[in-house]
Structure 1
Amino acid sequence: MTEQRGNTSAADIWADLPQAFRTTASGLGRDAWQDVYAGITPAEREWRAVRPFFMDRDHFEELGRVSDRLAHLVLLSCRRRARSAGELHDLLGGPVSGVSLLDRDAPLSEDLLAAGRPDVLYRDGIPLFVELNIGGALGATPEVDLIASRFHQAYSGAQGTDGVLLSTPPSPVKGRFDCIRSTLGAGDGDRVAIPVWEGHGAAGHAATQAAIEELALLCDGGRAAGLDTFAVPLDEVETDDAAVLHVAGRRIDAVLWLYVPSAQPDSPGMDALARASAAGTLRMHTPEATFLLTNKKTLGWLWEDLEHFEPQDAELIRRHVPRTRILAAHGPASDSLLADALGRQHELVLKPGGEYSGHGVVVGPAVTAEVWRRQLDRARADGGHVLQEYVEGDLAELDFVNTRNGEHRTAAVPYLLGPHLFDHRPCGMLVRHGVPDGAASVLSLSNGALLGSALLVERGRPAGIRS
């Protein structure tokens, strides 16, 4: 893959763009940042970046191809070990309860790769895939779309400056609903429900309504794609005598599920979905089996299976996936791995296999030796963790504005990229990055990281900004 370009990583080529363009674009971004982030949650952030990332279009496409190939290799590793979703669930040590939507007899087919979004750090310009999130429970697609399109509009005054052409990545919102059409057979006018459960965020009816309101942009995107899309409290979902899903007496043709199913509490709404699943009437984007592929143990399997892959695929893993090993609960191999981990604390990250959003991640260089040992002991007893090579990622120099006092500051901050993939096609670019004086070791939105996006750059063609 593309690595360094001049002084900068292929993830963000801002520093390589002509000075005249950067001067004009900087002024436009500083004038427009409030409009760009209007309605983007969380709204109370102290800092906002006044520009997006600028990525070479070819690198964006290539990153998507590598993302998709690595997801395919994960599927192959799972198939070497299991014939069905149920066998894979048991092998991964998944929860006994809370998987009522899992079709245990479902084959591990290519259909499971319909949607995903990896987490990508860069080191010396080389993208490193620290997680492969496979499945449809992907947040922030409308926000990523909106930030990119608003910055693109703001930069209209910079169009053609020194031959720099800008475009937005393909819309992840449109990509998602195109994917729902193609994988679920949804057609014009079909009703697509997005269930929201009461425990999402703060408990209670008010929190559920707030979550529904936050999904308005996504629902608008679904309707623009010809699908009657709406968010609804989970417990308003029911089944009829034929186990067909309904809300308020009206049929639901498909379900867009944005949360990890096994994390949902028991409820009448979950019971209704389970009845539909058991009867074969549930069409859900994506099926619960996709979440099994996201388990970080599968990255360990990639490394275990190197000799089984074609040479070019094995090299792809070595180059772009940090070394990942499974910390089993028992056995000589586990003893050896634990001893190695104790001696190489500052080179490793401990991750629970089945968690998400940075939950439970312990970064070796960020904790004391005592904490590291204690966490390793707990992880080994659990048997569901992996140890991954620590990546000290590249930094991106961004301009920020303080939303409280108007101060402008330039700072080099860590970042994490996430190209959304729908139907194997990259759509949109989620960017999470740090803030001035920030010290978070895990770049998650819940841990203080900022949400951003990217614009695509093409140079040396006729002047103008492509839409």
Structure 2
Amino acid sequence: MTTQPTQWYGSEPIPLGSRQPAPTLIDGLTQAMDDIAFPMSPASLRPVVLPRESYQEMFTAAAALLRLLRRTLLEAAPTAAGRIAALGADEEMYPLFIDGAVEEDFATCIARPDVMVDATGPKFVEFNIGAGIGGVVDTSLNSAAWIEAYGGRELAPFTGPDPLAVRDQIFVRAVRELGVRPGVAIVGTARDLNGSRTTRYYDVQVDSLRSQGLKAEFFEPEDLLAGLGLPGRPRYDIGLRHFTIPEWRGHAIDLTPVRTALDAGCTLIATQTAYLISNKKVLGWVSEGQPWMSARDRETVERYLPWTRVVSDRSTHWRGSRRSLPELLLDSPEEFVLKPAIGMKAQDVLVGRHCDRELWNSTVSRAMEREDHIVQEYVRPAPYPMEFAEAEGTGSYEAEVFPVFSPYVFDDRPGGCMVRYLPPGRHGVVSIHGHGALPTVALARR
């Protein structure tokens, strides 16, 4: 039995008795997010609030799908080199593997899928895996600010976990299981922070780790070797890999210090394998099915994944019949979305129904030749009624938006949920970068 969108979102009004006046609320949210890389929208007067059952469903489904993605990639080949070859990926994009079981053990401990809701409920359109994913700090601060704006933890009509506190437990586990000193080196760069005035973005993470009894420091790549006290035994045995290789290459950052730190025994979490599992081709392989999948696995895929295929010159099953994949995509672009197999921030994603036909056709042709894209069935999103502040700040109005949910999963545990949506009346790719999406958070009704 399918869930209607109004049921999944819930229809009961949120109690507003403890909510601060709009100007005070907006000022508090703005201050809470000051000098953070991606401030949340000050125009919304409430977060997205879901029934507890719907909120929990996102995390349960995310953890189940993540396990399928992990197994699918690991069984594609017994070695990292073989898995890279199976994906047709560039070896130079994956230079930071480490030896031993830890490489696979900490590959999927940090994940953030992207979820759209249609008439049947949530559909997982993408999985971002690895510690370089964005929004953890933002979601932590914004969730706390919303709860405070609605009267604090005792009075607020919604609740949710603190993403940083849940993520910190990964490092508590790593210290215990690896038998190392309780400390975490955060490896990142302020060059990723869109011109922030300070290092508050990283300071918040350091403070959170220290609250768990872990020593913690933030290091820019150029300061990493000196900060770790190398050569010799590194001052930190584990670290948070707060970067992606494409972004650092875009900054012309030398990865040699990171490689040196790994070779000296500093384990960076999440490990390099995370970025193989997050290759969207793996999502296509899972959608198409694997021989080892149980009936329950297949039901999970059918329920929560939109039809997804690696783009190549072949035939495929589509809605009960066998079709040529190239012909299907060229004949019915309105039914599909094209995505690069490797990519972030919705770069080069094409939504067929909102895309120039010539651009769509040429992209399909190149994707067939290179086999470096996936195609997904278009998910028809269900609208969510969001409350916005009037321009003068004294009143509010409701407008429909089409949210993309991003639940954080840390060691299979719920870790909060970021939300993005385009301003009312706009349609297309839902991304903050280059598309103007507004970010907020989702919380669970008490």
- Out of 165, 168, 179, the position equivalent to 1:177 is 168
Mean Cα deviation higher: 123-132 or 437-446 = 437-446
User: Following the alignment from structure 2 to structure 1, what is the Cα–Cα distance between the partners of residues 40 and 65?
Assistant: 34
Q: Which residue of 1 aligns with 2:257?
A: 272
Is the partner of 1:170 in helix, strand or coil?
coil
> What does 1:323-338 correspond to in 2, within 5 Å?
323-328=307-312, 336-338=324-326
Q: Which amino acid aligns with 2:275?
A: F
Q: Deviations over 1:319-344 (max 9, x none)?
A: 1100000013x567799311110011
- Out of 407, 423, 435, the position equivalent to 2:411 is 423
Q: Which residue of 1 aligns with 2:301?
A: 317
1:149/1:168 contact within 8 Å kept: no
1:84/1:106 contact within 8 Å kept: no
- Out of 204, 213, 236, the position equivalent to 1:217 is 204
Q: Which residue of 2 aligns with 1:168?
A: 159
1:141/1:173 contact within 8 Å kept: yes
Please tell me whether residue 228 in structure 1 is matched to residue 224 in structure 2: no
User: How much has 1:65 moved relative to structure 2?
Assistant: 1.3
- Change in Cα spacing, 1:343 to 1:43, as seen in structure 2 (3 Å) is closer
User: How much has 1:228 moved relative to structure 2?
Assistant: 2.8
Q: Which amino acid aligns with 1:327?
A: V
User: Following the alignment from structure 2 to structure 1, what is the Cα–Cα distance between the partners of residues 154 and 203?
Assistant: 32
Mean Cα deviation higher: 289-298 or 140-149 = 140-149
Please tell me whether residue 93 in structure 1 is matched to residue 88 in structure 2: yes
- Change in Cα spacing, 1:268 to 1:411, as seen in structure 2 (3 Å) is closer
Q: Which residue of 2 aligns with 1:248?
A: none
- Change in Cα spacing, 1:83 to 1:365, as seen in structure 2 (3 Å) is same
Q: Which residue of 1 aligns with 2:366?
A: 378
User: How much has 1:70 moved relative to structure 2?
Assistant: 0.4
Q: Which residue of 2 aligns with 1:150?
A: 145
Q: Which residue of 2 aligns with 1:286?
A: 270
Please tell me whether residue 80 in structure 1 is matched to residue 75 in structure 2: yes
Please tell me whether residue 134 in structure 1 is matched to residue 124 in structure 2: no
Q: Which amino acid aligns with 2:169?
A: D
Is the partner of 1:237 in helix, strand or coil?
helix
Q: Which residue of 2 aligns with 1:301?
A: 285
- Out of 362, 370, 393, the position equivalent to 2:381 is 393
- Change in Cα spacing, 1:276 to 1:27, as seen in structure 2 (3 Å) is closer
User: Following the alignment from structure 1 to structure 2, what is the Cα–Cα distance between the partners of residues 130 and 181?
Assistant: 31
Q: Which residue of 1 aligns with 2:3?
A: 3
User: How much has 1:371 moved relative to structure 2?
Assistant: 1.3
User: Following the alignment from structure 1 to structure 2, what is the Cα–Cα distance between the partners of residues 241 and 67?
Assistant: 39
Q: Which residue of 1 aligns with 2:30?
A: 37
- Change in Cα spacing, 1:267 to 1:387, as seen in structure 2 (3 Å) is closer
- Change in Cα spacing, 1:337 to 1:2, as seen in structure 2 (3 Å) is closer
2:180/2:237 contact within 8 Å kept: no
Q: Deviations over 1:415-445 (max 9, x none)?
A: 0111111111011111112223434423335
CA RMSD of aligned residues (A): 3.3
- Change in Cα spacing, 1:71 to 1:158, as seen in structure 2 (3 Å) is closer
Is the partner of 1:137 in helix, strand or coil?
coil
User: Following the alignment from structure 1 to structure 2, what is the Cα–Cα distance between the partners of residues 94 and 320?
Assistant: 27
> What does 1:52-63 correspond to in 2, within 5 Å?
52-63=47-58
Please tell me whether residue 194 in structure 1 is matched to residue 186 in structure 2: yes
User: Following the alignment from structure 1 to structure 2, what is the Cα–Cα distance between the partners of residues 211 and 396?
Assistant: 35
Q: Which residue of 1 aligns with 2:320?
A: none
1:55/1:456 contact within 8 Å kept: yes
1:9/1:124 contact within 8 Å kept: no
- Change in Cα spacing, 1:113 to 1:151, as seen in structure 2 (3 Å) is same
1:84/1:107 contact within 8 Å kept: no
User: Following the alignment from structure 2 to structure 1, what is the Cα–Cα distance between the partners of residues 263 and 268?
Assistant: 13
- Change in Cα spacing, 1:326 to 1:272, as seen in structure 2 (3 Å) is same
- Change in Cα spacing, 1:439 to 1:405, as seen in structure 2 (3 Å) is farther
Q: Deviations over 1:136-190 (max 9, x none)?
A: 2222222212222222222229977xxxx73421211011111112135489984
2:389/2:396 contact within 8 Å kept: yes
Mean Cα deviation higher: 375-384 or 49-58 = 375-384
Q: Which residue of 2 aligns with 1:465?
A: none
TM-score w.r.t. length of structure 2: 0.86
Unmatched 5+ stretches in structure 1: 246-250, 459-467
- Change in Cα spacing, 1:47 to 1:181, as seen in structure 2 (3 Å) is closer
User: Following the alignment from structure 2 to structure 1, what is the Cα–Cα distance between the partners of residues 417 and 24?
Assistant: 23
User: Number of aligned pairs?
Assistant: 435
Unmatched 5+ stretches in structure 2: 318-322
User: Following the alignment from structure 1 to structure 2, what is the Cα–Cα distance between the partners of residues 23 and 405?
Assistant: 17
2:103/2:271 contact within 8 Å kept: no
Q: Which amino acid aligns with 1:117?
A: R
Q: Which amino acid aligns with 2:6?
A: T
User: Following the alignment from structure 2 to structure 1, what is the Cα–Cα distance between the partners of residues 242 and 55?
Assistant: 25
Q: Deviations over 1:342-389 (max 9, x none)?
A: 011000000011112211211111112111101112222332110111
Identity level (%) = 23
- Change in Cα spacing, 1:271 to 1:69, as seen in structure 2 (3 Å) is same
2:281/2:310 contact within 8 Å kept: yes
User: How much has 1:311 moved relative to structure 2?
Assistant: 0.9
User: Following the alignment from structure 2 to structure 1, what is the Cα–Cα distance between the partners of residues 28 and 2?
Assistant: 33
1:188/1:227 contact within 8 Å kept: no
